[in-house]
Structure 1
Amino acid sequence: MSENGRSRRIIVVDGVPLPDVLDETMIRGVVHGFYDEIRRDDILGPIFHDRIEPDKWPQHLAKMCDFWSATLLRTSRYEGRPLPPHLAIAGLGEAHFRRWLKLFRATVCRICPPEVAALFMERALRIAHSFRLAVAFSRGETTIGIDPIAEKDL
Structure 2
Amino acid sequence: MAADAKRRSRSQQVCMSGKQQSKTTTVIDGVPLSTVLDEEMIQRVVHGFYEEIRHDVLLGPVFNNAIAADAWPSHLAKMCDFWSATLLRTSRYAGRLLPPHLAVPGLGEMHFRRWLSLFRAVVERVCPPEVAAIFIARSLRIAHSFCLAVAFNRGEDTIQVEPILEDSL
**TM-score normalised by length of structure 1:** 0.93
Dislocated runs of 4+, deviation >4 Å: none
SS of residue paired to 1:77: coil
Greater percentage in strand: 2
Q: Which of residues 100, 103, 106 is equivalent to 1:88?
A: 103
> What SS does structure 2 have at the residue aligned with 1:144?
helix
1:51 to 48, 61, 66: 66
Aligned residue for 2:158, secondary structure, equals coil
Amino acid at match of 1:31: V
The code of the aligned residue for 1:18 comes to L
Q: Structure 2 counterpart of 1:50, which letter?
A: N
Match of 1:14 among 29, 38, 54: 29
Distance (whole Å) between structure 2 residues aligned to residue 10 and residue 127 of structure 1 = 23
Q: Which has the higher contact order (CA 8 A, sep 6+)?
A: 1
Distance 2:51 2:104 in 1: 21
**Cα displacement string for residues 10-61 of structure 1 (whole angstroms, at most 9, x for unaligned residues):** 2111222110100000000000000000000000000111111111110000
1:34 aligns with 2:74: no
Q: Matched residues in 1 for 2:47 and 2:30: separation?
A: 28
Note the alpha carbon deviations across 1:113-143, whole angstroms, 9 max, x for none: 1110000000000000000000000000001
**Structure 2: runs of 5+ lacking an equivalent:** 1-22
What SS does structure 2 have at the residue aligned with 1:59?
A: helix
Paired position in structure 1 for 2:126: 111
Q: Which has the larger radius of gyration?
A: 2
TM-score (norm 2): 0.85
2:26 aligned partner, one-letter code: I
C-alpha separation between the residues in 1 aligned to 2:24 and 2:82? 19
Q: 2:154 aligns with which of 113, 135, 139?
A: 139
CA RMSD, 1 decimal: 0.8
